[in-house]
Each structure stands twice: as C-alpha cells, then as structure tokens.
Structure 1
Amino acid sequence: MAEILPLRAWRYNNTLNIEELTSPLFDVVSDKQREALYRNPISSIHLSVPLGDEPAANAAQLLQQWKDKGVLLQDQLPGIYVYYQYFRLPNSDKDYVRKGFICNIKAYDWHEKVLLRHENTIPSAVNDRIELLEHTELNSSPTHGLYTDPDFILEPYMDESIRMPLYETEDYQGVRDVLAVIHDHAIIKLFLDTLADKKVLLADGHHRYGGSLAYRRKCMAENPAHTGTEPYNYHLMYLTNSEHDDLRILPTHRLLRKLPLSDEEFLQRLSKYFTVTLKEDPYELNEVIVGKPWAFGLYLNGAAYKLRLKTEVHPSIEWNFPSEVKELDLTVLHYFVFEKVLGIYRQEQRDYEGLSYERNFTACIRKVDKGEAYLALITNDVSMEQVKRVCNSGSVMPQKSTFFYPKVICGFLFGSIKEDEFTTAAAACL
C-alpha cells in the first residue's frame, strides 16, 4: 500500500522572519495577494507561482541563488514534519485543530489504486506544475492526503512533537499554523509502518500531484535502469487522519461570466428540471439550501432564486457514472444546469472559459452585483463520507467539488527530488 519516507527539508534560514515569507497555494492566491507578496524578493511565492516569460526557468535559477546565499538551508537529519492548523469557522465558537504530518510519498499511478483521487483536473494547470517540477526538481508545497486510522496511533507522537515547534505563525486565512519535526528513528519507522497497509485519498492538490505523476512517468520512460527508488518517484504530501472531527470541507460555488440565452429563457429551461422559487434576500441563499439534497441558490441580475431538483428527473442522468457520483449535488448541477440547460457538455466544462469558482458566499453576490460575473450558483458542501464513497468507487467528482479548510501554506518547507539532496533521507529508512 502507501509507501512514505521522511525528508531532509529545505527551510528558510532561521535568521529570517518566516511570517513574511509564507504564501497561499498557487491555485488560491488572489491578484492582490500576489502583488504584495511579489514585492518581497525572497517570498516563497517566487518558487510556487514564478513570474516572467519563462517562469519555471526563473524559479530554478532563483532557487539555486537562494541555496548558494544561505537563504534556504537543508536540514541535516531526515524527519517527519508535524503540521497543526488551529482555526475557527464563521458563526461558530468552536476551536478546531487539524492535525497532520508532511512526508514524501510514492507518486502512485491511478491504476495502482493506492492513492485515490476524487476530482477531475484542469489540464492547463497540470501542465504548469509539470514544467515547474522539471526545472526546479522541488516540491514547493505539499498536497493534502487522507488516510484512515480509527485507532489514532500516530496522534500521541504528533501531540508530543508539536510542543516544541520550529515555526508558529498566523497566515492569510487567520489560521494559526504550527510546524515541528520528529527525528527519532523508531518513531519515524512507526509512521512508515502505520501507512504501509493503507490507501490514501487525495484531498487537495490534484494538479500538483498530477504534475508529479506525469514527471515520474516521463523519467521512467527515459531511464532503462529504473528501479522505483529514484527521487523522481516521490511527491511531497501533508497527511491527515480522515477520522478526525476537525476535518472541514467547505462548498465551492460556481460563477458564470455570461449566459448564451436570455434570462427569461434560462429560467424557463431550468423549470423543466427544477422547482424555481423566488427569494427576497440573496444573502440568505446559502441558508435556504443547507442540508437539502439537490438544492442550489441562484443569483441572477439582482434576483435570488432557490432551485430544487424535481426528484422524478434525477434518473434521466445519462452520464456513465456509478450511483455514488450521480447522487452528488455537483453532478446534478453540472448535468442539468450546464449540460441540459446551457448546452455546455461534460468535457467542455473542465476548461470552459466563462466558468469560475468562488469559495466565499458573499463574494459571489458581490461579484454579480459589480458585474464581474453574470450569475452565481450557490452550492452545499460535500461530506467526508461522500468523498470516501466516490474514491472507492473508482470514479471522480466534477472539478472543484471540495474545499478542504484550511489550506496548507507554502513556505514552511520545501521538498527536493534532486538525487544528492533526496537519497540521504531515503537511505536512512530503507
């Protein structure tokens, strides 16, 4: 099953202020955040979202400069890096903590059914990640994977380690991020042994993992002496236990820049599949659909509507998906609204230029009011059980189905897959 390894991470020199150097992941950083972060010449964003006509080559050159100048230093000992995120959710007094650890994991191909995906990817985003990995041979941020351990075997060791943190910062989400490291060989072996009989569900980072997987395939094809232990076989991942109550998945809403038909015709076509109910307050759309299957909010041209699928039309879904996928709200949304009503077919939806995604509900309403989008489709969240069922079915959800909160941050550590920088850590445990 899942083979993991410790790593000798590259980290910022301890003389630097880590809080000024971290950054959001490449797919969630906003334009305003980018502008501010790029002004710092040693911000981690220069490695994760590099600038220029040849961004990947620029990142590789900058990385080497940082190594040469001591901006980044490689840890002397291999370790498992414990990473806790402390947070609250809006309108809640509960204090959450998501517990996990960062390590290297074999970049398993999908057909091996060790690492399971639950979402489609957007091809252009994967290509960017491949090019960046080829040039830098560096994982600039970990993806997020889930393993299942109802006995919580590893948590006591993580709890002990987090008492002596390497870093403790507050990030752009208002989350308190804490990083620690475990060097003890016996405990590291326990981590490796615990994951050895488990599958891993890919929670977040499908594009980055897809980049590592494509890079591994390319290197395998070019290496007639391939053994499976080369550094290019591995990928940096943050692993959390799916049995934790503090694992949160938030909804991802849909925005359309324009409609290919009039508002009246759009609503008329919707009524064939949905019960369409006019609502007075658009800021209550997320509340009127909560907990209701196949229910959505629609904000269009200043008017708010609740959409509820007519149950008798659900069996008409023609997509060749298992029942676990057909039952999902987002499958219903993408099939009946995008394909049947708007005529945007399934394969087109993955790269459809007029479709964008927004996690913040109030931002959806604001963007429509400001003319930045023509309409917003408000969705419910996806449950952890639904994610598990879809992964185990061998199928995938529509793209951008889940938003595991909080996002990990970039800049705490970097994982090298250069031969001389990787093998020391791997040899220590093989």
Structure 2
Amino acid sequence: MAKVFPFKAYRYNQEKVKDLEKVVTQPYDKIDTKLQNNYYEQSPYNIVRLILGKEENRYQSAAKYLKKWIKDEVLIQDQKPGFYIYTQEYEVAGEKFIRKGFAALGELEVGEGVKEHETTMEGPKADRLNLIRATEANFGHIFMLYSDQKNEINNLLIKKMKNEALIKVKDEDKNIHKIWKLEDDKLIKEIKEKMENKNLYIADGHHRYQTALNYQKECIDKGWEADGVESFNHRLMTFINMDDPGLRVLPTHRLLYGIKDFNLNLFLKKVAEDFSIKDFESKDKMYEYLDANTDNKVFGFKAVEADKHYVFEFENEEILNEIEEKYSKEYKKLDVSILHNILLDKYLGIDKKALAAKSNLDYIRYRDTALKSLEKDKYQAAFILNPTSVKEVKEIADFGEKMPQKSTDFYPKLLTGLVINKLSIKK
C-alpha cells in the first residue's frame, strides 16, 4: 500500500537565482548533448551539473557542486515539512490540459504495492547508483500513478491552488509548471490516509526506482540507519491520478534506417498477409484515419521512396499465437506488441537483439517531426502510432508483464530542480 510522507525540500533561493527557468531541466534521460550544452550555458547553477555533468569525474563533481550551493545558500531547505502540489498546463493537438499531482516521499517497496510496466537496463541503473552514492540526494522525480475515480485527493489539493503559486516556470515546449507547498497538517493527514489503500504504478522513472531499491539494500548491508523520514527508505516521487482527465499519454513513433535491401513492394506484399492496407494522398488524411480508429489496431506508414501514406489495419488475430506463450492476451494485443513482433521482427528482421543494440530504429515523439525526418538521408521509413492507453498500462502492470520499450510517453515530463530531497543517514 502507498505510504507517503511530507518532507523539507531543498529549493533554489529565488533571491540569488532570479530566473528559475534557467536552472531547471528535463529528466536526465531526456537530455542529449545539445540540450546538455544549452543547460550549461543558461546558468552556472543549472541542475544539469548535478544530474548529468560534463566533468570526467562527474559524480564527485556533482557532490561538490551540491555541497557548495547549499553552503552558499543557492539551495536552501524549507524549515517545515510538507507536500508540494505540482501542476502542469500543456497542449496536445491544440487541446489544453492541466495535470495535477503532488510531490512527496514515497516508501520503497517490492511486490504488489508498486507495479512496473517497463524493463530496466543495467547501464542507467549503475549510472544513477553512482550519483546517489556520491550526492546522497534525489534530484529527479519518480512519476507514480494511482487510481482515484472520485478525484478525492485532487479535490483536496485544489483548495491550496487558489493561492498564488510558489514556483512558476515554462519548459522548452512552453508548458507551464507550478508548485505550491501544502503544510496544513489536517489536509496532509487526510491525503496520507486516502493514499494508504492505493496501488502505485510507475509511469516514468523505472530505472530510478530500481536504483533506489538497490541503494536501500546497499545501505542496510553496510549497517547504516535511516535518520528520519528523509532517508534511503523513501524516494522523491510525484503522485498523479490516472483517472484524472488532465492525464494524457502520447505515442512514440519509429523511424527505420539501415535495413539492407529494403523493398517497399515486397514489404507491402508481406504486410497484406495479416493487415488490410489503405493508402492516402496526404499525411492529414492518414492522420484522420488513425485518429478515428484508436480502438482498432492501426499503424501509419510512410516510406521515403513512395509519395503515398499508408495505414495498416491488423486483421489476423491468429498470428498473435506466434508471440511467446508467456505473455497474456492483453499484452499480445497491444499496438506496440504487434508493431515489434510482427511488422518489425517478422517482416523486417528487426528482432529483440537489434532493438537492444539500438540498430535500425530511432524513436521520436511527434508524428509531423517523424515524417519530416524522412527528408534526412539516414531514414528509410516511419511508423506512426496511436497512443497506448492508461488502461492498458494498468492491465499490463497488474499482470506483472513489461511492455516493449518506448510504449508510453507521459507528457509533459516532470521537471528536475523544482524540489530536491537530501538524504539523512546514520553511518
């Protein structure tokens, strides 16, 4: 069950750091070299120096920066614990949404209480473990979903949101992020009690959650003790109601490259064995069909060598039996499962080994951007997907299964640097 705790966050001192937009960042795993350079140039206090530094010994450098910023009061700690209400105002396809949640410390647990839907890799976990060893701090959030069909918890948060926000920043996509601090003991107690009967589902941050568990075990094995709530037994998380209309999941589209002897006509002939194929003169017509058929298994496709845009509509459910038996029926029917196991693996030879090696496939968020990328010499074709639903995420996690990589894009991401959790440990 979900146990959540108020904490005393470290935050940027706005008397010394006037423009918070210059110091907060996207999550570390969304920062490429170009974005990293931009963050470095924006401010000497940008949190990229802590989460993804350029220095050769970047973990120790992060620890030095953190210590100095605290000493110089660039970062200051709140004196009273609380929950931090976090809203994000954003647009998808011209429609405006507000996603509401709260940042708090969540108790780490293994098993039924916290459910995952993505497979983790050793490299990122080792990287994040080295960082937490050096800094003894949590910078990035774990994006946790819970179910609250009556929206009771968000209704409690809204009471505080009538006041002016403590923090307000825009990210690179012009999404507005706001933070309020909730210190009301009565409201905190009520929220804690309502959360206790909830299961949690990791939306983003699978590697960070596994790292937190690994670090907790490491600390216990060393005989270290937790010094209060802000310790290795808890992790900085943001909790968001999966039943709230402000939550949207975006698809991640696929760009194909490096496929030897790719022949469009031969590929279409293979596809026709299990899919009906429709062709459109424009991308907008293809989009219209995809948008009108989100309940069906439909895939947009555009090859560099053809002017037409295609939609593949899945028809042959018997072929799903070729997917490994260990997976549930629900898993096999996922759009991304059909894409990876049939369209990519069976027809194009892009198997799990190729995916792990990150060959033949790039991932991209927006469909217009995906199609525009076909103008580059690198790419041969693009697959345009509909989004995975939150219901599907919950189902697969409840079955204890892991979705294919890049199945979900919970947009916008939770910014790093709005609130920081420094650990207190007795050694």
Query: What is the CA distance between 1:366 and its match in structure 2?
Result: 1.7
Choose from 401, 418, 421 the match for 2:424: 418
Partner of 1:210: 210
CA contact (8 A) 1:260 1:342 kept: no
Superposition CA RMSD, Å: 2.4
Partner of 1:6: 6
Partner of 2:383: 377
Where 2:7 maps in the other structure, the secondary structure is: coil
Partner of 2:107: 106
> What is the alpha-carbon distance in structure 1 between the residues aligned to residue 214 and residue 23 of structure 2?
29
Partner of 1:425: none
Matched, 1:78 2:81: yes
Q: String of CA shifts for 1:387-416, please: whole Å, max 9, x gaps.
A: 121121121211111111221111111112
Matched length: 416
1:143-292 to structure 2, matched below 5 A, reads: 143-162=142-161, 163-223=163-223, 231-264=231-264, 265-282=266-283, 284-290=285-291, 291-292=293-294
CA contact (8 A) 1:51 1:58 kept: no
Query: What is the CA distance between 1:225 and its match in structure 2?
Result: 7.3
CA contact (8 A) 1:298 1:307 kept: yes
Query: What is the CA distance between 1:154 and its match in structure 2?
Result: 2.3
> What is the alpha-carbon distance in structure 2 between the residues aligned to residue 96 and residue 44 of structure 1?
27
> What is the alpha-carbon distance in structure 2 between the residues aligned to residue 322 and residue 282 of structure 1?
34
Query: What is the CA distance between 1:26 and its match in structure 2?
Result: 1.7
> What is the alpha-carbon distance in structure 2 between the residues aligned to residue 76 and residue 351 of structure 1?
47
CA separation of 1:216/1:263 partners in 2, compared to 1, >3 Å: closer, same or farther? farther
Query: What is the CA distance between 1:314 and its match in structure 2?
Result: 3.4
Partner of 1:426: none
> What is the alpha-carbon distance in structure 2 between the residues aligned to residue 122 and residue 131 of structure 1?
15
CA separation of 1:349/1:302 partners in 2, compared to 1, >3 Å: closer, same or farther? same
Query: What is the CA distance between 1:151 and its match in structure 2?
Result: 3.0
Q: String of CA shifts for 1:105-164, please: whole Å, max 9, x gaps.
A: 12222xx21111122234433332222222212211212111112233322331122223
CA contact (8 A) 1:317 1:326 kept: no
Query: What is the CA distance between 1:102 and its match in structure 2?
Result: 0.1
CA separation of 1:331/1:78 partners in 2, compared to 1, >3 Å: closer, same or farther? same
Q: Residue type matched to 1:316 in 2?
A: N
CA contact (8 A) 1:6 1:103 kept: yes
Query: What is the CA distance between 1:312 and its match in structure 2?
Result: 4.2
Query: What is the CA distance between 1:364 and its match in structure 2?
Result: 0.8
Q: Residue type matched to 2:68 in 1?
A: Q
CA separation of 1:341/1:404 partners in 2, compared to 1, >3 Å: closer, same or farther? same
CA separation of 1:198/1:247 partners in 2, compared to 1, >3 Å: closer, same or farther? same
Matched, 1:56 2:59: yes
> What is the alpha-carbon distance in structure 2 between the residues aligned to residue 7 and residue 145 of structure 1?
17
Q: Residue type matched to 1:44 in 2?
A: I
Matched-pair identity in %: 28
CA separation of 1:12/1:123 partners in 2, compared to 1, >3 Å: closer, same or farther? same
Query: What is the CA distance between 1:346 and its match in structure 2?
Result: 3.2
CA contact (8 A) 2:140 2:415 kept: yes
Q: Residue type matched to 2:319 in 1?
A: H
Where 1:70 maps in the other structure, the secondary structure is: coil
Q: String of CA shifts for 1:212-271, please: whole Å, max 9, x gaps.
A: 222223333333879997811221111011221111111111123311342244444434
> What is the alpha-carbon distance in structure 1 between the residues aligned to residue 40 and residue 187 of structure 2?
39
> What is the alpha-carbon distance in structure 2 between the residues aligned to residue 306 and residue 28 of structure 1?
30
The alignment's TM-score, normalised by the length of structure 1, stands at 0.89
Query: What is the CA distance between 1:347 and its match in structure 2?
Result: 5.6
Where 1:306 maps in the other structure, the secondary structure is: strand
> What is the alpha-carbon distance in structure 1 between the residues aligned to residue 176 and residue 318 of structure 2?
46
> What is the alpha-carbon distance in structure 1 between the residues aligned to residue 133 and residue 311 of structure 2?
47
Q: Residue type matched to 2:203 in 1?
A: A
> What is the alpha-carbon distance in structure 2 between the residues aligned to residue 30 and residue 226 of structure 1?
35
Where 2:53 maps in the other structure, the secondary structure is: coil
> What is the alpha-carbon distance in structure 1 between the residues aligned to residue 149 and residue 279 of structure 2?
45
> What is the alpha-carbon distance in structure 2 between the residues aligned to residue 205 and residue 285 of structure 1?
33
5+ residue gaps, structure 2, are none
Partner of 1:125: 124
The alignment's TM-score, normalised by the length of structure 2, stands at 0.90
Query: What is the CA distance between 1:284 and its match in structure 2?
Result: 4.5
> What is the alpha-carbon distance in structure 1 between the residues aligned to residue 272 and residue 91 of structure 2?
38
1:384-403 to structure 2, matched below 5 A, reads: 384-403=390-409
Q: Residue type matched to 1:53 in 2?
A: E
Choose from 68, 78, 86 the match for 2:71: 68
Query: Greater CA deviation, 346-355 or 239-248?
Result: 346-355
Matched, 1:22 2:24: yes
> What is the alpha-carbon distance in structure 2 between the residues aligned to residue 391 and residue 150 of structure 1?
18
